[in-house]
Structure 1
Amino acid sequence: MPEWLTLYYREPLELTHGEGRHVWGADGRRYLDFFGGILTTMTAHALPEVTKAVGEQAGRILHTSTLYLDRHMVELAERVAALSGIPDARVFFTSSGTEANDAALLLATTYRRSNQILAMRNSYHGRSFSSIGVTGNASWSPTSLSPLQTLYVHGGVRSRGPFAELSDERFTEACVADLRDVLGQTHGNVAALIAEPVQGVGGFTAPPDGLYAAFRDVLADHGILWISDEVQTGWGRTGDHFWGWQAHAASGPPDLLTFAKGIGNGMSIGGVVARAEVMNCLGANSISTFGGSPVTMAAGLANLTYLLEHDLQGNARRVGGLLIERLRAIAAPLPVVREVRGRGLMIGVELARPDGSPSPEAATLALELARERGLLIGKGGREADVLRIAPPLSLTVAEAEEGAAVLEATLRHVQSTLAGREAP
């Protein structure tokens, strides 16, 4: 395997099975999972409703491709279209979030007859050639080559950068002014803005609510499309909203919406939703060999049904709210924690050196110590200085308290360790 296919932990961890919010390693040890396979295990590990749907469909037929009708794909497309908020919506299924964003970029550039794309600084949209070309986080963008001309604008990171000290209202005004300035320097039509409502790999950073609505007003004046990358924020994870774009809903839904990860609960599902005139703009044939697979579609339907019937969005809001307040109380006396941010069950803990600069070494140490204490978390941010906390949406209050206790011990250990290193 390639050297860049990195693994977490000094001693890599092999996971063999899971149940609910827990997973087990090959050594037999049980861990509380606060990362869910990068926000993919959305409802629970080994959810009976999903495993039953997968098993039953696998016993009938595993694969057909989109060249044939599949009832599960049609039913899931109808439900996703209705939930998307996009009028006259059409849905195209892919096998990953990367491929979903790639498809959205194809649609937008074809519809607008332009290869110019607006993207957010510190963003991440996947690992394909086109999605890397609109990724603003340099740690995840290995080449400057791109089929697109990408223009990066401010707004995705609230607490760092040139506008960090402004009020929310002034921050939004400054970012809109920056957007207008960038558009004033373009040549020809810009096709679209692609933006994560909450930046995932970027460290769970987000602008003030309403910023993308303000952007949308500017975009609409130029006919520019808005692509909301909901690969990590969708399906109620933020608690307050089913989709991340709804925190910026004053000007209505996006023109295109991409999704993946949580809808499959571990199965490979991605997709793009767009209004019909945009989705149908392609003049050439296209299919998906694995997008819309009968097995993954059966899993997606079962998973979405469970999520809605058990109000996991509401659970994310309630339990996530308790967890984030608990973490803020833990962090208050610890200088190593610069910020605890997020909403619902999408929480970032940014770690810093005494001078306030990013501390990737603190995040790496915290990752290891949490694992030793039986808790799995993620890591992100432009400088790899942010702990990413995103458990399955069925997390209980007791499990949230258990995880918070581990994080408290972990962060206190990190604080004392780094303080000891800095002592004369």
Structure 2
Amino acid sequence: MPAPKRSQSERRNPAVCKAIVIAVQPPEAAEADVHRSLSELKQLLLGLDIAVVAEVVQKRSVRSSPAYLGEGKLRELAALTGGTGEIPRGPDARRADRAAREQAEPLVVVADDELSPGQLRNLQGALGVEVLDRTAVILRVFASRARTREARLEIELARLEYELPRIRDDHTLGDREGGGGRASRGHTNVELAKQRIRDRMAAVRRELEQLEASAAQRRLSRADTFRVALVGYTNAGKSSIMRQLTGSEVLVEDRLFATLGTTVRPLAPPATPAVLVADTVGFIHRLPHALVASFRSTLTEAREAWLLLHVVDAADPAFRAQIRVTEQVLADIGAAETEALLVLNKADRLGREERDALAREHPGALLMSALDRRDGDALRARIDAFFAQHLVEQTVSVPYARRGVLAELRDRLQVVREEYGEEISVTVRGTPEALGKLAARLAGG
């Protein structure tokens, strides 16, 4: 896959790139929520080595104005960026757009919303610098974190879907005609660029379908295996809990979207029957729909799990809003009905009174710290107890001539007792599906 073209801001030295973040606060939005969202945006930008030097918030009833901000606030912002503060028209718009993309100073303006193509163009023309929106930032962060082929393709597809409607406003393409078209009229550069994007999207979808077919076969092979999926807001500590439960050396970093791919590992020490644990991509406030749609494989793990571990950073003042975000995404992917255990992580950062209050507020939840082995053992006990509910007990007779079956039986089922007489009588506990396969195996001779 050819590397995507990098924007002007990405080609600069990232260590010195600076940003001004902007937001609109509608009447129904609490000031604390707006600043919390901005704080999250700053963390995303920090992950791209972009330092925020100023923020501009305007209280207004609509976000749909031609330049996102009102005229007065736009001029105020332009004084910081060196722009005119006026939306350019006609040929001036093209020159202003090109100048914004090629400006020498390492400064970008970032809106904490998804902007329309027109708003993006108007802001760049009025401010004289490159403008990004929240969706573009999230896409860039995801692209910088992707490690697997599948994740890279999923992110590329989301990026192309985001870019396609914005091609019409990319004045760097010009109006010159290319080849093809009817009556020798030819296609404009914009039309050709759109066709190239559509062709690439089709190719990416085909490759993703092939990868998904392979993943579906792997999931089918473990369809009757107990599965747990870790879900939750990004940076809630899912990877640390994954380490506790499986002993695997998964990446643990204190930053948003440190991991994107799906990691599947068995519980350690091994459970009988086996239990697989999947660590999935984290969610975020206003996660772009294109990314939710693209990350099919990792989200399928959540949809097909027997149990979800909904991991929450209990020390984050915004954790209740983050719970709602995760629940909404789970509903969007069809996993809302899957049984879930709320795991209030990072409880070691809370005082006794805060812990007691959370225990009263969420009586069925588990307060824990992923850094405490005893808490990890308590979580493991909750998982074991959950799956024990799905086991049934049955006694089977195994002829001595078939005693080789016993080894397989001990691997896949819990052996309660063995008695030796004319045949070997074995009492086992397992899922109805596993017991059915055992009966068919013994009946088959």
Greater C-alpha Rg: 2
More helix as a share of residues:
2
Give TM-score scaled by structure 1 length. Answer: 0.31
